[in-house]
Amino acid sequence: MTAGQLKVAARSPSRINFISLDRCGILDGMMKLSVTLLFVVAALSGCATQNFSRGGTLLSGLNQYHGDMRSLTSESRWPERQRAAGSLKTIITGTVGASPEFYRLIDLDLRKREFTVTLRDTNVRPDRKREMEEELIAIDEEIAALKPVVKTQLSVVSNHEPGDRIENAATLGLLGLAVDNFSSTGGSRSGEAPSTRVGPYLVTDLGAFSTVRTPEGQSYRCNVFSVPEEGGGMRCEPVP
């Protein structure tokens, strides 16, 4: 089953937020429904479906969050950083389901960013600076412990995702790399493009697009797409 029933709206061309499923008649209970039940009810309601997926929609939301955080770096932009984190939590609820670990990962990432901005842009008392630096160490340790838990949850969702195996591998691989980007301190070693293995496939994130390489040596070029008021997905084509 596809995820075309997950309705997403854009406050601006680059911002995705879930809205009421007005056309489907599902107005109040979305957050109380399990992901599976939500999809079934929306499908039975007769809404048109397209080639969207839960994983693709979540990946679009994660990419947007990381992009927002790269641009919202001044102290005065803290309300926007808070809204970006809240929007991502909404997308997580609608795709993965309620995940305390994923929510905690976002909270810690946000707190680390606020500490970093405060230490950089304000004159913090020496004693408070030491406290914040110690807490940043603890935050990094907790984030490192949460990442594999969240990746396992994403794998479980991916295992129930219908569709093309190459596109699913690309989606899961990029989701894992996006989780790694939480509070990342830098790029990959030696300037290499980040890559990960999903089963027998090698997924490489090249920024504007990604590639999937099979054990037989066939390569695929993949692109994430998102559509306002619809969702996101993955398209992969073989490289000649």
For 157-204, the pLDDT digits (tens) are 888 888 899 999 999 999 999 999 887 654 455 578 999 999 999 999
54: Cβ contacts below 8 Å, ≥ 6 apart: 3, 6, 35, 95, 96, 157, 161
Beta bridge partners of 21: 26
Cα-based distances in Å from 75 to 70, 109, 113, 114, 226: 13, 16, 10, 8, 30
pLDDT score, position 27: 30
Q: Identify the band that residue 10 occupies on the pLDDT scale cut at 50, 70 and 90.
A: very low
Q: Is residue 2 part of a domain?
A: no
Q: Return all residues near 83 (Cβ < 8 A) that are at least 6 apart.
A: none
Q: What is the pLDDT of residues 125-140, one digit of tens each?
A: 999 999 999 999 999 9
* Per-residue DSSP letter, 231: E
Residue with tokens 């697009």: 209
Is 3 a member of any domain? no
Number of domains in the chain: 1
Token pair for residue 155? 């794998």
Contact present, 62 and 88 (Cβ < 8 Å): yes
Q: What is residue 184's predicted lDDT score, i.e. its pLDDT?
A: 63
Burial class (CB in 10 A: 0-12, 13-18, 19+), 154: buried
Average pLDDT, the chain: 80
The answer to whether position 193 is within a domain reads yes
Task: Let me know if residue 160 belongs to a domain.
Answer: yes
The pLDDT value recorded for residue 163 is: 81
Residue 228's pLDDT is: 80
Question: Does residue 141 carry a pLDDT above 50?
Answer: yes
Q: Over pLDDT 70: what percentage of the chain?
A: 76
Q: Which of 37-51, 176-190, 202-216 has the highest mean pLDDT?
A: 202-216
Amino acid letter at 86?
G
Q: Is residue 179 part of a domain?
A: yes
CA–CA gap between residue 185 and residue 39 (Å, rounded)? 37
pLDDT of residue 190: 57
Would 154 be classed as within a structural domain? Answer: yes
> What pTM, to 2 d.p., does this model score?
0.75
**Residue 18: inside a domain, yes or no?**
yes
pLDDT at 226 over 70: yes
Per the domain annotation, does 188 fall within a domain? Answer: yes
The candidate with the shortest Cα–Cα distance to 57, out of 78, 38, 70, is: 38
Report whether 160 contacts 128 (CB < 8 A). no
More confidently predicted of 61 and 24: 61
The domain of 183 spans 8-238
Does residue 185 contact residue 194 with C-beta atoms inside 8 Å?
no
**Can you give the pLDDT at residue 6?**
42
- Asked if pLDDT for residue 2 goes beyond 60, the answer is no
